[in-house]
Amino acid sequence: MLPHRRPSGRAKRAMSRAALRIDVRSNSGLVERAEEAVCRLTGHRYAGVVATGSSATLAALSAVEGKVMLPDQGGWRGFERYARLLGREVCSVETDLGVIQPEALECALEKEEPAALIVTSFAGYIAEQQLREMHELCRGHGVLLIEDASSALGDRRLGKAENADVVICSTGDPKVVNLSSGGFLATSDTEFFERATPVLRACRLSGVVAAAMVEELTLAPEVVERLLRFASLVKARLPDVVHRKRRGVCVGVLHPEPGKVALLAKQRGLRTDLGRSLLTLCPNRDRFLKHGFCVELKKLDVLSITREQVVEFAEQLAELLS
């Protein structure tokens, strides 16, 4: 068994210190520090930290004035649920197992004329989206690009202001910034931020969690880098990998009997020390819509495990597929 992803020791100590001195004034100061840290990491001018990642999604979609476009797979199903809850019309763009191709996007933008496109940094957590190209196309059509960077915060090019008009993020479990709760919205669009502000205020984050968020944000680049490195090690040892050549923090694998593989993995003890499965079965709209599974490396405490442990895990999994 491998260690499950948990908040860092620095984050836990920050929460303890904040809890001992919390009052209205210090709560506000801690929240402001977290928002400043988000702005530094994303490069955006404004940020609002909220109680959950769902709150960040709700705030972003509440500020969209018009139709919302989603990928047909590889994005969180909650995007559509919250858009419809807010009365927004929803449309989709066809993808290559979650990855949006620029040609398909341009056709969809011309046909549907959405107000916003919302995507995850890594389609299904397994494959990097071409955000720079997508952002240029969206800008040319007057469409807002909203990036959910929960899986990529701290990356050198994802979750950044230059490639998305709005960045939203969950800091729940298990995520890159892993606090079991919390999230944020960041943007440089003044009018958009003003429209999102009522929801941001209603779902404001506590000062205790905000203090921990500041600490976890500093660790995000290292967490993402290690996830990407470990994903590469796993890909090199498994057959039929989805989007093998694209960067990702998890690994998708095509297989005709994913349920059988999951059962064998459970029997072999390939799970976290909390007993959580490391495999998500597909078809799954949040991952990809073919038979297979996703190896959920993001569930692991990547800062405390070694390359050798990851290689051993991958080789054991490969044995189950042979």
pLDDT tens track for 67-109: 999 999 999 999 999 999 999 999 999 999 999 999 999 999 9
- Tally of CB atoms within 10 A around 288: 27
Query: For residue 28, what pLDDT band results from cuts at 50, 70 and 90?
Result: low
CA angle 261-264-267, nearest 5°?
150
Higher per-residue pLDDT: 15 or 123: 123
Average pLDDT for the chain: 94
Q: Is the pLDDT of residue 27 over 80?
A: no
Kindly give the interhelix angle for 131-140 and 102-112, rounded to the nearest 10 degrees.
30
CB count within 10 Å of CB 222 equals 13
Amino acid at 189: D
- According to DSSP, residue 98 is labeled T
* pLDDT (mean) for 178-192: 96
Mean pLDDT, rounded, for 133-152: 98
Residue 21 confidence (pLDDT)? 66
Q: What are the b/e assignments for 4-37, b being 16+ CB within 10 Å?
A: bbbbbeebeebbeebeeeeeeeebeebbebbbeb
Q: Where do the domains of the chain lie?
A: 9-218, 220-321
Strands (E), 96-174: 116-120, 122-123, 127-128, 144-148, 166-170
Tell me which fold the domain 9-218 belongs to. Aspartate Aminotransferase; domain 2 (3.40.640)
Q: What confidence score (pLDDT) does residue 66 get?
A: 97
